[in-house]
Amino acid sequence: VTHSHDVPPLPAPDVPAAVTALRARGLRMSAARRLVLEVLYAAGGPVTAEEVAAGLGGRMTASDLGSVYRNLDTLERAGLVVHAHAGHGPAEYRLRNPGTPGVACCEVCGRSQPIAAPALAHLQAVLRDRLGWEASFSHFPLLGRCPDCAGAGAPLRRG
Partner DNA sequence: TTCGATGCAAATAGTTTGCATTCTA
Partner DNA sequence: TAGAATGCAAACTATTTGCATCGAA
Contact status, residue 27 vs residue 78, Cβ threshold 8 Å: yes
Rounded CA gap, 158 and 23, in Å? 49
Per DSSP, the three-state class of 95 is: strand
Please pick, from the candidates 28, 58, 88, 89, the single residue that binds its own copies as defined by CB under 8 A.
88
Q: Using CB atoms within 10 A of its CB, is residue 142 exposed (0-12), middle (13-18) or buried (19+)?
A: middle
Find which of its own copies, DNA, none residue 135 binds, CB within 5 to 8 Å per kind.
its own copies
Tell whether residue 123 is a contact of its own copies (CB under 8 A).
yes
How, if at all, do strands 92-95 and 102-106 pair?
unpaired
Q: Looking at 7-15, 88-96, 103-111, 123-131, which segment touches DNA (CB under 7 A)?
A: 88-96
Minimum distance of DNA from residue 59's CB (angstroms):
17
Give the residues lining the site for its own copies (CB under 8 A). Answer: 2-4, 8, 79, 82, 85, 87-88, 98, 101-102, 104, 107, 115, 119, 122-123, 126-127, 130-136, 138-140, 142-147, 149-150, 155-159
